[in-house]
Structure formats: C-alpha cells, structure tokens
Structure 1
Amino acid sequence: MLTDNLKGKTILLGITGGIAAYKAAALCSKLVQGGAAVHVVMTESAAKFITPLTLQTLSRNPVHTDTFDERDPAVVSHIDLADRADLVIIAPATANILAKLAWGMADDMLSTTLLATRAQLLIAPAMNVHMYAHPAVQHNMSLLSQRGVRFVEPGTGQLACGYVGKGRLAEPEDIVQAADHWFAEHEQPQMQPQMQPQMLTLKGRKVLITAGGTIERIDPVRYITNDSSGKMGIAIAEAARDFGADVTLVAGRVSAVLPDDIRIIRVESAEDMFQAVMAEMNSSDIIIKAAAVADYRPAVRHDAKLKKKDSTLTLELEKTTDILEEAGRRKQHQLLVGFAAETGNLEQYAMDKLHRKNCDLIAANDVSAEGAGFNGDTNILHLFDRSGRVAEWPLLSKREAADRLMALLAERLQQRPSVEEER
C-alpha cells in the first residue's frame, strides 16, 4: 500500500544487465505513482534487455546510459544526478555491479554516479542461485552492508536459467515498500535526539566492545564454538569510532572483516576474553558485550589429538566465567550493555538478564525471526533498561542498528562525566 513517504522525493533507479531488468519497468511505474521523481540510469547490458525508451516513457525523464552523453552544459550529468538523489535503488543488481560498488570501481555511467552519491543505497540483487551463493558475492554484499547499504533480498523460486533456488529479483511491490519504509524511518520520529547521531558525540569517551564467538578446545584440532559471525559487534565498534570514541574491540572468532583503524585485541577462548575485558574495563566509559561467549568448555583439554576408538565419546564440560555478570559486579562509573539472543519470551528473559547481571541496558533479539539470526547482515533489536522496554527497532542493517544504539548511549552519557573528569 502506497503512503505519502515517496511524494516529492528524487529517486535514482539504476538498472543492470540481467533478465530481471524487465521488472524494472513495473518498479519505475510504481515509484512514479507514489509521487517520486524517478531518474533512470541503465548499463549498456541492461539496455539489451529493456529499452531506454520504455523507462523514459514511464519515468517521464531522460534515461542516462553513457557517461559522455552530456546534455546540459551547465552541469556534469553523473554528479548532478548523484547530488539530487534522496535515495538510490539498484534493481536488478548483478554480481558485477556489487563487485564494482564494493571495490570502488567506476567505468560507466551507473558506477560513476554511484561512487559520487551520498544518498542511501537500496540494492535488490538478482542472479543465478550459485552466483548469489558464491563467497565473492557474499563477501562483497557483506562489505557493502557494513558501509550502510540496504538490501532487498532476492526471492526463491524458478530462475530464468532453469535452476530453482534463491536469486530471483524481489517483486517491485516489495522494493517500493522497502523504499517507503526507509523514508518513514528517516523523516518521522527521527527528530528525537537519539535518532540524530550528528547532534551527539562520544568524543573523549572510551568504549570497550566484545564481538564474535569463542573457541573452547578439546584437543589441538577440535573445538566447541557457535554460529556468531561478529558482524554486530564490529558494526558497533565502527559506529562508536564514527561518534568520536576511543574504541577497543575484543574479538574472538569472527567471519567478518575487522576494521584496521580500531584497536583490536584478538582472543580465542572465553577465559582469554574474560581476562582482556577485565584488564580494559576500569578505563572504559561504555562496555558493550556483543560477543557470543561459550557457557561451557571441556573440563580436560588434551595436548594431543584424540584418536577415534569407541563408537561414542563422552565429554565432560565445566562452566566458563560469566564475563557480563562479573563486569556488572565490578562496574563503577561504566555504562554496561549486554546482548541477549533469544528464541521466545524476549522481554521476560531480557529483563531477567538485565537485573541478574547488573546491566544498564540489554539489547535483545529473537534469533528465530527472519533477518535477526546469526551470520546475517541485518538485525531486529529490542532495548530494555530497568524501567522496561525503551526502544523497539524494525529490521535494519547491523550498521544502522549500531548507529542507533550508539546515539542512544551517547545521549545517556551527555550528563555523565568522563573517567578523566572523575579523576
């Protein structure tokens, strides 16, 4: 259902060369019906699937295909388009355009415009199921997501190549709805202070963050771990850095790229992480425990590889030290934030954890909900303090959720003195 959120907005629609390009016509039409001014940029390959004339007729604006086709001497076309856009939608987005965006390549009208724009990017990938699942494509999408790019996931079904699987372009209605939601999020209650990170700062504050899973070794080649990718913790570290904080990231086992401009302490086990956090916490203003730490470890760690003997193997496990609980016991001036990954009774378990572990805030997510589980690039967070639920955020990229979290914490710290001031 269309709302007024698209009215008066300028949307740049990028179309790349895949069979799903034919759906871009319906998408363009629906955006125009919603009141948006749509400017289409097509790649040379896209123009082989659907004609620029079709998109020109539907958008009622000239369609751009060639970087050197400058029609107005008063402006440089790709810069003008980049500057005017309130939102950029790429649909369909091929593996090729994802790679160009991820690595900063600009060799045609669309990629050059994308590199110049500062508008939000909303990308709807479409490709063969095996191409979509390829590690290079997934890595490029992960990089883009960490930079704040939003994705409209492809659907699963019959593909033009004959395969059945994930890779079909999302329906135009779903892409329009995603655009509508983005404008709604950024132009309504966003006037509240926590929604305006540019008005807040963590300059002079020290933020300690944990990320990833821990490894509890059975022997030199086997270990117990979990599905944590570390993406949420890394996104929080990057957001804290951008808010001006002095950031230390204690990272366990992660599958995401670690930032190279943040102080990193690499650890393996729960005990390693415990020691690192305890050593850093006294000088920290904010401690955010986003890591998925093992609750148990093997009671005996074997020095040599265990040989296969019997049909079964029994492992005796012992509890690890609860880092969040110990931090809550030792904290003095720090703002302590814990994460709670649950599969039901979210509020009950989050509030129980907050009180038991003496946290100031709990960020809870239902990992059974689509888009909020491990290894993904999105999350759905519910924030609780001692008064109860304080925020409930919809499906967001982990980086956007991290920005909101840091804005909330910065707001709460505005009236608190820093560690240096207390001394």
Structure 2
Amino acid sequence: MSTTAAAVQRIVCVPDSFKGSVTAAEAAAAMARGARQVFGAAEIVEVPFADGGEGTLEALLAAWGRSAQTLEVSDALGRPVTAQYGRSADGRTGVIEAAQGNGLPQVSDVAPQPLRADTFGVGLIARALLDDPDCAEILLCIGGSASTDGGTGLLRALGAEFLDSAGDPVAPGGGGLSQISSVDLTDLDPRARTVEWRIAVDVDNPLTGERGAAAVFGPQKGATSEDIRLLDDGLDHLAEVLGAESGTDPQRLRETPGFGAAGGMPLALSVLLGARVLPGSQMVAEALDLRGTLAQADLVITGEGSLDAQSLGGKVVQAVRRYAPSETAVLVIAGGVQLGAAQCREAGLTAAFSIAPGAASLQDLLRRAPELIEETTAQACGLLRHSLS
C-alpha cells in the first residue's frame, strides 16, 4: 500500500535494540509515541525485532506477549548456571539463545579453556523444550559462544554418543573431536527428530580453514595458535565422520556458509537433526510473519544503534526493507547514521535520522535514548507529513 498525502492509516514500528541503551521493545514504544504526535489517528503497531543475535529471545517474547522461563543448566565448562528460554503464545515454537548455555561471559571468571568448553548446557535447554508436547519447532539463536565443539555437546545432552575407535565416549569439547570414530544415536531423544530446527546465524564463515570457526573466532575464546590448529583439525575430522555417517560430502560440510558460527554448532545439528541454517533476521522475520505484518503498512519505522554498511548486510534494517512492500515509505531512526543520502536511497530507505541532538557525550545519549528516539521519530514523521501534504 503506497503512502499518500490523504492519510497515513497504519504505521508499523519495527526496530532492533539500541545496544547499551534500550531494548527493541523500548525502542518500538518510543517510536510509536513519536509517530502518534504527528499521526494521532493512525493505527500504530509495535514489533520489536532482532537479527538472531543478542536480544532475539527478548524481542520474540515481547512480540508474542510472553515472559522468559528459567532453567538450571550448565555453562560451557559444566558449572551450574541459570538460563532463560521461551515459548510462543501457542507453545508450538521454542526459542533458545545458545549463549545462555555456552556463552563467553559466563566463563569469564576463570582462565579460558577453549579445548574443553562445550555446548552441553544448550542441549539441556533444548531438552526442556522437547518436554512440552506442543513444541513443534525450536529456534536456536547462536553467537557469543565460548565453545568450538561442532554442536556435539548439545547432541550429547539429547542422548547421542560420540565414540572413539575403542567404542568409548570421547572427552567433551573441541579438544576431543579428532578422536571421534563413530556416532551412536541409539539413545538419542526421538523427539529431537520430530521437531523442526532452525538455526539463526549472523556470520557466513565456513566450518574450517582460514575463515573457519577456529581460525576466526578461536582467539576470542582464548585459543592459542596450537589450540586453533587442534580445533580446526577436529572440526575437519568431525565433518569427515558425519559425512560418512550420513552419506553427505564432507567437503560440502566444511564449506557451507554459516557452519563456522558459534564454534561450528550448526554442523552436527544440520547433519543429524536436519536443522535449517538461516540468516538471523530472516529467521526472526519468519517467526513473526513480518511480511504479513508489513503488508498493509502506509509507513514503516525501523532503526538500530548505528546505521552503517553492516546494516545492509543481513541486519534488521535490510530485513525490514526487504519484507516491506516496495512502495511503502521506510524511515530509519538510529543512534548514529554513517550512510549518505544516496546510499539510503539505493538501499530503498526513504530517509535516515540520527537521534544525536548535537554535541553530547555517549553516556548522555545512552541515558536519554528513549526520549531522543521519540523526539526524532516525531520530527521525521512531521517532515514526511509535510512532504505529503
């Protein structure tokens, strides 16, 4: 539906979080308040959004009107930790932020152990979701991981066993991957194969090699050059084993874009459970039926902390533009705008506005973010309304 001077009857506010200041839900509410100052008679819909990384659980639950649930699981080193997860309103969709069970911040109090860290705790969250008979799909949002185990820990929590040549279980974590000779799925929870798995990734790195999980992300997890070699060799070997087990070309597994995310977590889930790997913004858009929500919008308002080149590489702003009808105006409200007017037009954006009112410290901008988002949205809507009159 095209935006005309006659009326703006339906506005959809669909921002990401402004990291360090406001959540996506808070940003959407502030945008709605600003838009209401100008288009008071319009229907205004708030849709908190995310790209599959930090804040995705919160954004989905806010959109669904649900609260997070908590569960005692283990962190990447096997220590007790309280994790949050969620379910959709109808209970059919479960959401996991993997970092709740294998995140770097949880293990920052001890020396890095990149060869030992694993994803077992993430699997415990998945097991809790499988206990709900209504659960038909699991959305797994990965990122910020301390582990490089190819997803083997998660599968172990669901009953799979990764065995060495003597038939004994290998040690948990990426350090034991090279010892895996076979996979025993006898005790795998059968429910793990009846639900649909979707994995949100925000990088396109392959599993192994110079751009692989170990080489690129290993140093962030405390891996030395020798650790990186061992982890990369381990992932390479795991691809060989899983390829043989499933009849899949191991080289395809090594090179698939996104399989290097979160220490190669998509690998085992894709091969053994049929998980589908998607860009995070696409997964969230599908979960929220973003295309349907935007179909009748006369105006769409989106935004994030910084509008820059990365925003057009699979992040929230690009997803919103992709799912909105081509003739619908899309305004961007951002903490900072690094794109020029020509770049915005080329990306299909109507205009972009920074919330910075002038000389101000970062701390002041963060503190005043809700107020500034509301005011900037009102200013942008006022300008748009004038241009349409």
Q: TM-score, normalised by structure 2?
A: 0.29
Greater share of residues in strand: 1
Which of these two proteins has the greater Rg computed from alpha carbons? 1
Q: TM-score, normalised by structure 1?
A: 0.27
